[in-house]
Structure 1
């Protein structure tokens, strides 16, 4: 049985790792949050922080209306993995008249569809990478960040090996399985990196990928 206030600031549908962290952060900031998920164990965990957490096995419009999620000012749909459920749930929430709907997307294509139906989009991994890149480029003492035992984000200086080459032709992705997430040149930082962008010697580039591949690329640059 659902028992919500007439109006709640935030609603969160789906409490995987991203949804849980989002809910916890908002609740600890003193915000009113209602959380919905089909997994009873996850709901029990988030109930350590809020009583407004409910098990919902069906995310159709009728069930969502029963929860009162339409009374939230902002609703986050954090169902990135099940694309069909993500899109239908987002569409239902939008059609229920929620003023602001923000949906998590795992791929660009998924984000395009969600944006098309009227949602704002977040790409958690990409957004985190950009925030970390900005930290790397603004704090000289911070040279790398370890995301786990294998995946790193590191700042490297371009050498004459890639001077004058576009990012695409430098084969950083194809040969080293790395992605460039930021480039700094002449104290200007670019975080939306075009594949046709021409690299110059002494550019600071921020790459994300496996530690071993970063070491291979670093060795390539120094030869």
Structure 2
């Protein structure tokens, strides 16, 4: 442990003011535990958004690969609560458990973070059963990246949707080409909401940016629209010609 902390401090000298346990941009600091494909991609995106990111992984090669890309990195066994405590992770406002196939480690790390009172714990799950366990532990957010991406792509491949996002409570947001029933007259007169149970919230005309849709908005054939509503309702609406 002494060598671990010494190495972390030595590597972080140039970034001392943004060190572990001290916020660099208010509360914009986060620990990403597990630097596989998901964790490293997430960490890089957070860095691009000016977050202070500490990356932890047991695999030294992964840590070396990211040492110049993240605010701090450390080779660490995050299943050991004392290791997390000495690295200051317990003081962070947010942490992501991005551990892949080792379900036991994922559960242990998530439990450690929750018991330490980290306010915002995100945890990656590799199956619905894994996700259910993490939810029962009390993880604030559980994501199934492979499942969610597979479901999203399936919607795009099999239908007319240009994009699809589903939320936990059977509510979805869809980007699609406007069907005829939504065009030619103001949206408030189309009866789309009453007939199909969806709401058009945005519109994009060729060569223009997206803009909010109102009851007075007139959608033209070929316009791209953003529609919200219950998942089945928006799926059915997006299939209309």
Identify whether the pair has TM-score above 0.5, normalized to the shorter chain: yes
Q: Are 1:138 and 2:175 matched, yes or no?
A: yes
Whose radius of gyration is greater, 1 or 2? 2
1:51 deviation in Å?
Answer: 4.0
The TM-score normalised by the length of structure 2 is: 0.56
Residue 120 of structure 2 is matched in structure 1 by 100
C-alpha deviation, 1:28, in angstroms? 1.2
SS of aligned partner of 2:55: strand
Cα RMSD for the two superposed structures = 2.9
Alignment deviations for residues 43-76 of structure 1 (CA, whole Å, 9 cap, x no partner): 1111231240111145210111111111211100
Q: What corresponds to 1:6 in structure 2? A: 21
Q: Matches of 2:70 and 2:238 in 1, distance apart? A: 47
For residues 52 and 238 of structure 2, the distance between their equivalents in structure 1, rounded to whole angstroms, comes to: 45
**Runs of 5+ consecutive residues of structure 2 not aligned to the other structure:** 10-18, 24-28, 164-173, 178-226
Shift of 1:129: 4.0
Distance 1:58 1:94, change over 3 A: closer
Per the normalisation by structure 1, the TM-score is: 0.60
Does the CA contact (< 8 Å) of 1:24 and 1:46 recur in 2? no
Q: Identify the structure with the greater helix proportion.
A: 2
Q: Check conservation: 1:83, 1:110, Cα contact below 8 A.
A: yes
- Between Structure 1 and Structure 2, how many residues are aligned? 154
3-state SS of 1:109 partner: helix
- Inter-partner Cα distance in structure 2 for 1:43 and 1:135: 37
Question: 1:31 and 2:51 equivalent?
Answer: yes
* C-alpha displacement of 1:126: 2.8
